Amino acid sequence: MAANDIDVFANEEKRNLELGGHVGFDSLPDQLVSKSVAQGFSFNILCVGETGIGKSTLMNTLFNTTFENEEGSHYENEVHLRPQTYDLQESNVKLKLTIVQTVGFGDQINKEESYKPILEYIDAQFESYLEEELKIKRSLLNCHDTRIHICLYFIAPTGHSLKSLDLVTMKKLDSKTHLPFAVVGSVEDVKVGNKMVKARLYPWGSVQVENENHCDFVKLREMLLRVNMEDLREQTHARHYELYRRCKLEEMGFKDTNPDSHSFSLQETYEAKRKEFLVDLQRKEEEMRQMFVNKVKETEAELKEKEKELHDRFEQLKRMHQDEKKNLEEKRRELEEEMNAFNRRKVAAETLMGQTLQGCSQPFKKDKDKKN
């Protein structure tokens, strides 16, 4: 083969790459969508309301399904929260839905602290997520995020003013979640005209769930699920959780740096908090030791006092026993003297009676001799 033939063959093997107008990073949103769909989504709803007000019915209506749920009781001694998680799928989108019910809310006579378990639950979920964040080996993508994304507060449609319990609870929840909607929920299909719709029947007529002239259910569902679900999830993370996280880390002694301050050292902060903790621990140990010593001294003093009381009681009983014994001996002597005196009198009486009988018998004998 000639050299010219080799050059021609080499030229034919070369591939020229030219940049076109399309680069390809406009597919990033599609990549994010594919990644998010593959991972799935989680959404957590907190339902706050009195027993029997319709929390479960509204959840069934919102997601067009029937969730398994225990019937509430009006005889709960305190408020406790019951989370239940469901795996839902619509098309190829998977949703891990957690519905948290307030069991016993508003059923107690004293309702002053009914809101506390709700706030404690919300903060507990923040605390759980923060603990996962602070781990050395953390897996935030795989852990079940239970932070509350939205709180639905149910108000009884009595037509009267809000109860004091509603006002206090909504005020406490204001920094964590809230918008008012007038909503009716129903899972029953009712025939209205020529079509079947979800509605509630009343003696005066029917209220259609998806009729915007009747209630705000459609607006709530649009806002909650179709339009703002991701915004609510982001608000929970970026606003409510960040506020909790910032306050918690400041309590732990962590501070951000600014141009006027020294550089932030995690090790120094840890050592400072550790020393502070050890000093506090020593102080508490000393307080407990001193408390124990004082308690022992108090117990010893009480025991000595009890011992003295028992000794005094024993001496008193001993004296009483001696006095009773002395009295009994005196009475015994008196009885013996009385018995001796009685015996003496008895002997004297018997002697006197014998002498009297003998004296009477002698004159009788002399008269008999005379007659003879």
Sequential pLDDT tens for the chain (372 residues): 445 554 544 555 666 666 566 667 777 788 888 888 888 888 898 888 888 888 888 888 888 888 877 776 667 778 888 899 998 888 888 888 899 988 888 777 777 788 888 889 988 998 888 888 888 787 777 788 888 888 888 877 765 667 787 788 888 777 665 755 666 667 677 777 777 777 776 676 677 777 766 676 777 777 777 777 787 888 888 888 888 888 888 777 776 665 555 555 667 777 777 888 888 888 999 999 999 999 998 989 899 989 999 999 999 998 899 989 999 998 998 899 889 888 888 888 888 888 888 777 766 666 666 665
Token pair 């102080």 in the structure block, residue: 283
- Report how far Cα 190 is from the mean position of its chain's Cα atoms: 42
Q: How far apart are CA 51 and CA 80, in angstroms?
A: 12
Q: In the sheet that 189-192 helps form, which strands lie side by side, from edge to edge?
A: 189-192, 195-202, 205-208
For residue 311, report the phi and psi dihedrals to the nearest 5 degrees: -65, -45
Give the pLDDT of residue 257: 61
Whether 240 contacts 54, CB under 8 Å: no
DSSP 154: P
CA-based Rg of the chain, rounded to a whole angstrom?
A: 50
What gap in Å lies between CA 109 and CA 122, rounded to an integer?
Answer: 24
* Among 149, 224, 150, CA closest to 183: 224
| Residues 66/13, Cβ–Cβ less than 8 Å | no
Beta strands in the chain (DSSP E): 41-48, 80-90, 93-103, 150-153, 189-192, 195-202, 205-208
> Which of 44, 176, 49, 48 has its CA nearest to residue 123?
176
101, 103, 83: which is closest to 42 by C-alpha?
A: 83
Check: pTM over 0.85? Answer yes or no: no
Phi and psi torsions of 85, nearest 5°: -110, 135
Task: Give the full edge-to-edge strand order of the sheet including 93-103.
Answer: 80-90, 93-103, 41-48, 150-153
pLDDT at 265: 64
CA 222 to CA 13: how far, in whole Å? 59
pLDDT value at position 112? 78
